[in-house]
Amino acid sequence: MSDIDGIRLEQAKKIETETLWDCHEHEDYSDEQHIRECLSEMLSAYIGDDRNYAVDGAEIECTEMCKISHCIKYENGKTKLYNVLNAPKAIERDYIPQGKEEGKTFYFGREPDLDKVRRLFTLHARGASDNGIRFGTVSDRKCLRNVREGVESPVTPDDGIPAACEANIISCGNCRIMRVSDIAEIEKRWDESMKYGTCYSLIKPVAEWLNPFCAESVTGKCDAGNSFASNTGLIEVGPTKPSCVITEHHKVLEFDTQYGKKEGLTMLSTLLCTRGGVITIKVHGQIYLDADATLFKDELFITIDQLLLLGWNNLTQESVDELNRVLVKYEINSVERIRHFLAQCMKETGRGACLREMEYRKWNSQTEYEDFFNNNTAYGYRYRGAGYLQLTWDYGYLAFATYMIKQECSDLNIEWRSPKNYGTGFQDRYDEAVQKAEDAGYNIDNYKRIVIEGADYVAMEFAWESAGYDWYAKDCNSIVDGLASDDPASVDKITQIINKNTSLESYQDRRNNYEELMKIVQ
């Protein structure tokens, strides 16, 4: 069983990193001293702000969640369950069930699909965030398998906000822990395990999520004691959750539910699985602008209606959802940041009409199109501009692919450097990233295709992602934050970074785009 105290402390460190918390003191402190002196202050502010609490659709992860594919193979009269990387360490059962064919292998949970199911669906709270999305509470722990099989009853929200699922958790993917008894459980729910991963069939969450009894306890600054043995919340063991009686300490916020007041969920919350894993909140799911910006109370996201007003082309709800995901991921999260970002995207792609460089021209043939770039540009056809900010050059594609591999394989020590600051070594860093990822058993074929296929693939699969990445790699958020608000003339500063050598007419078009956006993004 994982150590709860250690997990919470690691989560606290993530919060510090992700919120860019800086005490502005103790520059010469070690990490240990900084945690002891400063982290409690940060957590107190964090835990008292409802914008940091999980809402419907929050991303979850488990300490025993395996990012490597799992499969069952029927061979030599046996049933073998193993992860693909450690095939020799298979869990074996001494027979093949009727209807299963010798020599067949079946894989569970494709990674792109698993990203969609590692979610928390909140059903109990009556309160909603500024986004109009239902808050999560400690009661949100029912798994879909138990609800569908009648072990637990479904919960119907009574607050009028639609529910995306009849249970709180579908799956965390494939479970790293494997036992012989798991084989029968997986076979019993074959189709669901294929789709959602083995966790769907195996997860066993305890009765409630558990929160630290005060923010100070996470860093050991509370006398109430915070050992794992006394703070597991396991029903089978039967301990009472300790509480903090120190008035000045900071407690978790509570929300109204169908069952009275219940504590909310943050990145410090834990849900134990009796198989041995600990589930935590990875991303709380709220979208909000920075502290100095006006929150979108009614229309937080950039909506399809807003883009239609801008004359955007080739619009689908899926592409708008992807835009909003990218705005969140790359922290393009203030009114000014969004205006400047979209002003550039509008010009680079003709308001979404052309996601590949110069595809708007009427070429006589595909060969003519390719020859033009191969004979008249230094970067060639494969690495011509693509995506909403026209990612270009071989080193640009290599750096983007390396960054995406680094994001996917966060447990590996992969080096990425921005083309903004470094001019060489991109091929070597990409090759090293691919080698490390594949040696660890990751499937990164989709990121390798960024380099192998270039512009056509990026335009099709990573149009918004590549734009958000390019914005981040060029540190555009910091530059925007230093510009005057509501000032079309300030757009030139960003244009000089995105496309410095573009025409004077193009500079003016981007200023005009910003003026349009001032009326729509407020």
The pLDDT of 397-409, averaged and rounded, is: 94
Q: 157-167 pLDDT, tens per residue?
A: 877 777 878 89
Enumerate the H helices of 203-269 as residue ranges. Answer: 215-218
- Distance from the first to the final alpha carbon of the chain: 49
Give the pLDDT band of residue 295 (cuts 50, 70, 90). Answer: very low
pLDDT at 22: 55
3-state secondary structure of 88: helix
- Name the DSSP letter for residue 37: I
Compare 32 and 490 and report the one with higher pLDDT: 490
pLDDT at 19: 58
How many helices (DSSP H) and strands (DSSP E) are in the chain?
21, 12
**Whole-prediction pTM:** 0.55
Q: CA neighbours within 13 Å on the CB side: how many for 106?
A: 20
User: What is the enclosing helix (H) or strand (E) of 108?
Assistant: strand 105-108
Q: Residue 112 above 60 pLDDT?
A: no
Q: Residue 27 above 80 pLDDT?
A: no
Q: 176-215 pLDDT, tens per residue?
A: 888 999 999 999 999 898 888 899 999 999 989 998 888 7
3-state secondary structure of 31: helix
Give the pLDDT band of residue 287 (cuts 50, 70, 90). Answer: low
Give me the sheet containing 105-108, strands edge to edge. Answer: 91-93, 78-83, 70-75, 105-108
Could you tell me which residues come within 8 angstroms of residue 407 by beta carbon, excluding any fewer than 6 positions away? none
* Most confident range, picked from 24-28, 115-119, 513-517: 513-517
Q: Residue 330 above 80 pLDDT?
A: yes
- Name the DSSP letter for residue 172: -
Q: 79-106 pLDDT, tens per residue?
A: 888 775 545 567 888 888 888 888 888 8
pLDDT at 218: 79
pLDDT at 258: 82
- Total length of the chain: 522
* 464-479 b/e (C-beta count within 10 Å ≥ 16 → b): bbbbbbbbbbbebbeb
Token pair of 520 as six digits: 């729509």
Amino acid letter, 230: S
3-state secondary structure of 349: helix
The pLDDT of 111-125, averaged and rounded, is: 77
Give the pLDDT band of residue 284 (cuts 50, 70, 90). Answer: confident
The pLDDT of 265-285, averaged and rounded, is: 91
pLDDT at 497: 94
Q: Residue 228 above 50 pLDDT?
A: no
CA-based nearest residue to 38, from 51, 50, 28: 28
Q: 415-466 pLDDT, tens per residue?
A: 999 887 667 899 999 999 999 999 988 889 999 999 999 999 999 999 999 9
**Cα 225 to Cα 245, 383, 425, distances in angstroms:** 12, 58, 50
Bridge-partner residues for 434, per DSSP?
none
Q: Residue 16 above 70 pLDDT?
A: no
Q: Residue 240 above 50 pLDDT?
A: no
Give the pLDDT band of residue 36 (cuts 50, 70, 90). Answer: low
Q: How much is the mean pLDDT over the chain?
A: 84
CA-based nearest residue to 47, from 12, 5, 23, 6: 12
